[in-house]
Copies of this chain bind each other. A is one copy, B any other.
Amino acid sequence: MTQHRQNILVTVDTAIFTLQDSQLQVLLVQRATEPFKGAWALPGGVVQEEPDGSLEQTAFRKLAEKTGVASPYLEQVMTFGGPERDPRGYSVSVLYMALLRSTELVLQGDDRVSDIAWVRVDGERVDRPLAFDHAKLLEAACQRLRSKAQYSSLIAHLLPDEFTLSELREAYSSILGVSLNAAGFRRRVLQAGLVEEVKGAFRHHGRRPAQLYRLHPESNQVYFETNLMWRVGEG
């Protein structure tokens, strides 16, 4: 490599999602420095060769700094690279997505951001322009979230530890953008072993108490054998 010294900036950026009132939200920071000073962006940071043993560690480190949450669900989505993304030169951004339970949220800015906020995601967009190519990154993260929602238990990571099946169904409906049949959803979810009953625990509002469930502890991502949307459409 001696004949070719690269000068590439490598960052890790994370789309941090949560649900508030069944509505998908993403964490954005307002940049306090150039380039794109004043613009909103996905939180991220430069990979540091010294403390970070892997890209995932960089992502976890930045997450803990911004949200105080040490171990949320974290998944690598895709890597973006090219000479046009950043005015400083060729840059590479490894995009992660993190799912937070809304009860975990404690925001912490630092001197590199002037503001930090949860912003509502509609479709795959937010209500403001984003710095760099972060609109494209957000789109990729939303697509991954929706595509995994069709086949897996991923969405349960956006809910509190214990939830009713109606709350889980509302979360799936909101993210998939479709209304899901209650009986069909219930059957599929229980059949897939996605959740388990919390013995003797019920939510008391409405006419009769609703059983509480939690994500199956054996796995943080259980897969359906069929597309959830398609299958519940039947039931």
Could you tell me which A residues sit within 8 Å of B by CB distance?
A: 1, 4, 6-10, 46-49, 52-55, 76, 78-84, 88-90, 92, 94, 225-227, 230
Contact = CB atoms under 8 A, between A and B. Distances in A.
Secondary structure of the A contact surface, majority rule: loop
A33 B231 CA distance: 54
A1 B46 CA distance: 8
Given A52-B82, A225-B230, 13 more contacts: A1-B46, A1-B88, A4-B46, A6-B46, A8-B10, A8-B47, A47-B81, A52-B83, A53-B82, A55-B82, A92-B92, A225-B226, A226-B226
Copy count, this protein chain: 2
Contacts of A9: 1, 6
A54 B79 contact: no
Contact of A79 (B49, B88, B94, B230): B94
B47 A6 contact: yes
A212 to B, nearest CB: 30
B83 A53 contact: yes
B6 A10 contact: yes
A225 B226 CA distance: 7
A89 B47 CA distance: 13
Given A47-B81, A79-B55, A92-B10, A227 B225 contact: yes
